[in-house]
Structure 1
């Protein structure tokens, strides 16, 4: 049956009188009027709980997304309400990433810092004298867990290569990358967040950065 789609913008008025769009609530209904789907979109990404129903009103599927827009849980039921699936796709992806990281042929630079390029030539000595680098990146732990990603936000960053507010190992490794290069950087905890860690990074964690360099000056 044809589904009807309803879209509602959830708005918040700031003290200045401007409007900040928090999320777009989307609802689909069967021709009978019964709810078929409901979920929210924020900044072009799914967020929170997304639910699907049979026309009878029985829940059919539930998807949960974290604030990054990553699907972290899927549940499915049959028309009698029996649970058919309870799956965490992100955990499966993390396992694949972890294996990939372990299998990569890392090129050791110094002090446990290494890189692996998927595009671009291998550089044996750091390139000095550069000030800024525009790039996309994603940060992972060696277990494959994603910590942050400009790829996902579709927002490249401009990295200040000298004295920038970044972990030491990241800046050191970027000196082996040129415009157009893509690859991975493995940073020992001593050159990352060390014994303290952060809210999202465990203490003594080895980090892996995926980078794609756009420009350098």
Structure 2
């Protein structure tokens, strides 16, 4: 899935960034695992069940509220605790990565447009209110507001159409292999985010005109 270094760089107009796992630490998954461990549950099973319920209840698409999702999670996994206590375990782990926001700024400085493409909830807006994430991007596609999510290829089609960019001229960084596969199948230049070094190399191959700040990521 990585770009062949021997090929000419594609012409990229827009770069989409996932939020959790790319622009910030993966607070959702790690928070659910932590809750599972603390409550004597299988942390992986609890995380997967709660994640799937985020989709099946419609919470990730804005068709159910947080309380309905937590009620479904408690019923399915045996988790206990108030909504506020459980959400704190997740929200406290969404640590924004300032170096990635600087990278997004560098992309815009090079004349490209940027967007967030995230399967998230109302929590993303709370994180933005606290950390000013959105100002680094031209558009934010939050599944909770768009009514679509990245398990549906239509979310990618929707985002590229709104941005007015052909899929082949869009790049996308995400830490989820499934999302990368769906984006790639549509012709988007999708790259799996695994860390700073791979990101730097992939960005240089996709958009060599982008100059990351001196000393990045430090």
- Taking structure 2 as the reference length, the TM-score comes to 0.28
Structure ID, larger Rg: 1
**Larger RCO of the pair (alpha carbons < 8 Å, separation 6+):** 2
Compare the two structures and name the one with the higher strand fraction: 1
Name the one with the larger helix percent.
2
